[in-house]
Every structure is written in structure tokens, then in C-alpha cells.
């Protein structure tokens, strides 16, 4: 499974790096799995919401799973809000979803998916500060959930829920044993009940 996690100026650090850490550890145990941080438009430098500067060498391509982080939803011109307003990332993610790509979001990344129309009429979750906005967009908000799985759309709540979202997807798409082994390796106490593998 090729996993691409999209990063952009103003993304929340842990929204992207938490899942990336989990998926990267899993890739050492699962044949054909990989996790890559990618840009929206072109390779280059990206600065996170907390000032971390990183260089991405690839752009969003044709992954099996795309993960969209949040960050800065309530700051016009920054982070997830800027990406939603610009429209390029929502359109690209919608195109991938229409072709059958598994789409996931962390925190206010769900608002980028909402802008793409992907959460309308579907159960989803986001950061508590954006729950009302997500509901107003037409999503069926699961306010008490940490991870919401609606098949081809999986959303995670607050910042740290991205870690659990990654474990959820590993358990679902591969096996729960691998998810538990990676959690043990990372000394991470799972905050969710793992699903049974779909395969």
C-alpha cells in the first residue's frame, strides 16, 4: 500500500508526522507498504504551523491511501483554510476519491475534505473547535469519536488522533497483530479498539 501524506505551509506537525511515524514502522513489517510526505503542487520547502521546515521531493500522485492533515483552519490565509480556499488540494483529493483511492484526514484536514464535498451526508469527525463547521457543511458529525470509519473515508478527531487513525488503518488493511506490534515498539497505548482486518 502506497501512502501519501500531504503537507503544505501551515500544516499541523503532528497531524502529518504522527501517522507517518506509525505507517513507516509498519512498512518494515508489511510487504509493499510505504509512507511518503508529499507536496500539493511541486517538490520544495514546506513550513509547518509550528515553524518546522522540511523539504518534500514528491507531489501528490496516485497513492492507495492519501492522508490530509489540518492546521490553521481559523486563520484566514494559512494552513488548511488556505488550502480549502485555494481549491487545488480539495479538487485533487476528490479526483483521487472518485477513482477509488482511500481518503483519510486528521484534525481540521476534514474541512478540506468537506470543501471537496467528500463528507457530505457521511459520518466524520474533526478537531472539537471545527465540529460545528463540519456539521454545517453537511457531514454527520460523530462528536465523541476519535476515529470514524466510513469505508473509503476515514477521519480522525484532534491532533493526536492521527496516530490512532494510522493504527486503525493498519489493522483494517493488513492485520491487528501488526498494529499492536508497532504500538508496542513505539511504546504507545492505543486509544481505540482495533478493527478486524478486512482481508
**By percentage, how much of the chain surpasses pLDDT 70?**
99
- Give the pLDDT mean for 90-98: 98
Please tell me whether the overall predicted TM-score, pTM, comes out greater than 0.95 for this model. yes
194 within some domain: no
For residue 119, the SS3 value is: coil
pLDDT score, position 199: 56
150 within some domain: yes
pLDDT score, position 51: 96
- CA 143-116-197 angle, to 5 degrees, is 60
pLDDT above 80 for 198: no
192 within some domain: no
For residue 78, the SS3 value is: coil
Q: What is the CATH number of the domain that holds 56?
A: 3.40.50.880
Mean pLDDT of the chain: 96
66 within some domain: yes
79 within some domain: yes
- Residues 95, 129: Cα–Cα separation, whole Å: 28
The cell 483552519 sits on which residue? 73
199 within some domain: no
190 within some domain: no
Helix (H) or strand (E) holding 163: helix 161-173
Range name among 34-48, 68-82, 109-123 with the lowest pLDDT average: 68-82
Distance linking the first and last C-alpha atoms of the chain:
13
Nearest in space to 79 (alpha carbons), one of 144, 159, 135: 159
- Give the pLDDT mean for 77-91: 96
From the candidates 66, 107, 113, 174, give the one annotated as an active-site residue: 107
What is the domain count for the chain? 1
pLDDT score, position 19: 98
pLDDT band with cut points at 50, 70 and 90 for residue 162 = very high
pLDDT score, position 197: 74
pLDDT above 80 for 76: yes
Q: Tell me the residue range of the domain where 61 lies.
A: 2-185
Range list of H helices, 28-121: 79-86, 88-98, 109-115
pLDDT score, position 72: 86
Tell me the per-residue pLDDT of 97-142, one tens digit each, with 9 for 90 and over: 999 999 999 999 999 999 999 999 999 999 999 999 999 999 999 9
- Give the pLDDT mean for 26-46: 97
- Tell me, what DSSP letter sits at residue 18? H
> Which tops the pLDDT comparison, 158 or 25?
25
pLDDT band with cut points at 50, 70 and 90 for residue 75 = confident
197 within some domain: no
Active-site annotation holds for 107: yes
Amino acid at each position: 500500500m502506497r501512502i501519501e501524506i500531504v503537507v503544505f505551509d501551515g500544516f499541523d506537525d503532528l497531524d502529518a508526522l504522527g501517522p507517518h511515524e506509525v505507517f513507516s514502522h509498519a512498512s518494515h513489517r508489511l510487504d509493499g507498504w510505504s509512507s511518503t510526505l508529499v507536496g500539493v503542487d511541486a517538490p520544495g520547502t514546506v513550513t509547518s504551523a509550528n515553524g518546522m521546515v522540511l523539504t518534500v521531493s514528491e507531489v501528490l500522485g496516485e497513492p492507495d491511501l492519501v492522508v490530509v492533515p489540518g492546521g490553521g483552519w481559523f486563520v484566514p490565509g494559512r494552513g488548511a483554510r488556505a488550502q480549502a480556499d485555494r481549491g487545488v488540494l480539495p479538487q485533487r483529493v476528490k479526483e483521487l476519491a472518485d477513482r477509488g483511492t482511500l481518503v483519510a484526514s486528521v484534525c481540521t484536514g476534514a474541512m478540506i475534505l468537506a470543501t471537496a464535498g467528500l463528507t457530505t451526508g457521511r459520518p466524520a469527525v474533526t478537531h472539537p473547535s471545527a465540529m460545528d463547521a463540519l456539521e454545517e457543511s453537511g457531514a454527520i458529525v460523530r462528536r465523541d469519536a476519535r476515529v470514524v470509519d466510513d469505508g473509503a473515508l476515514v477521519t480522525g478527531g484532534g491532533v493526536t488522533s492521527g496516530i490512532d487513525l494510522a493504527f486503525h488503518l493498519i489493522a483494517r488493511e493488513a492485520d491487528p497483530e501488526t498494529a499492536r506490534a508497532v504500538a508496542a515498539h513505539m511504546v504507545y497505548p492505543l486509544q481505540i479498539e482495533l478493527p478486524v482486518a478486512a482481508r
